[in-house]
Amino acid sequence: MSHCQKNCLHCTGKYCVSKVYIFSTLKEEAFKKISEIIVTRKYKKGQVLFFEGDVEDKLYIVNKGKIKVYRYNKEGREQILYILSDGEFIGDMSLLKKGNFQFNAEALEDTYICTISKDDFDTIITKNPEITLKIMEVLHDRLMDLENLVQNLSTKDVEVRIASMLKTFAEDYGVKNEKGIMIELPLNREEMANYIGVTRETISRKLTALQDEDIIELIGNKKLIIKDLDYIED
């Protein structure tokens, strides 16, 4: 483990920048300048980074940890839009045009966040215009993810929603072992229910049923193993 991973608040910002896709083509000089202007802060589990309606005037980069990005639906229930982990970021729309956040963000665990103000980023983009293309690529992927989410929520088949969620978790957090794919779950049962638009009781009942069918193996509330890999195949 690097010094930065152990002491994130004391990083120069270089460790943050090295993880971020939109900075991947930068030369060393630009890389160094961005590292020098980054501000790092620790958010405790459950602490909100920003609320819907707050001014979107900076880029938030996850250095270490996880955050959820969410809105409230018409019924007042939380709807999770994204889960972001190391190297991922939010606030990218502010880099193109200053506005207001259309969602909330909250730390799922103790998380270290690096931020870059829009004013600082405008200067960087002027000298490194290729970053804009990278931002557009990320925005495209986010839109595709949202389309998939809407499509999954529109189906009344709860099993399909759960399979899609577990497939996403397997791709993002899964590690293959002798039993199948081990997943450290980024969400608790309540959050998983919110993610796919069902009740907590439903998600718990369905996961137990999948275990009874030997499709998955539940390991406490934090982990599970997908034993039948055909279950998450398209």
Mean per-residue pLDDT, 33-54:
92
Sheet holding 48-50, edge to edge: 48-50, 104-107, 66-72, 78-85
102: helix, strand or coil: coil
Confidence (pTM):
0.80
Give the integer Cα–Cα distance in Å for 178 and 182. 9
Q: For residue 8, is pLDDT > 80? A: no
Domain boundaries in the chain? 3-154, 158-232
Higher-confidence position of 196 and 152? 196
As assigned by CATH, the class of the 3-154 domain is mainly beta
Give the integer Cα–Cα distance in Å for 40 and 112. 7
- The kind and range of the H/E element at 75 are none
Task: Please tell me the predicted confidence (pLDDT) of residue 12.
Answer: 46
CATH fold match for the domains 3-154 and 158-232: no
Q: Does 158-232 carry CATH code 1.10.10.10?
A: yes
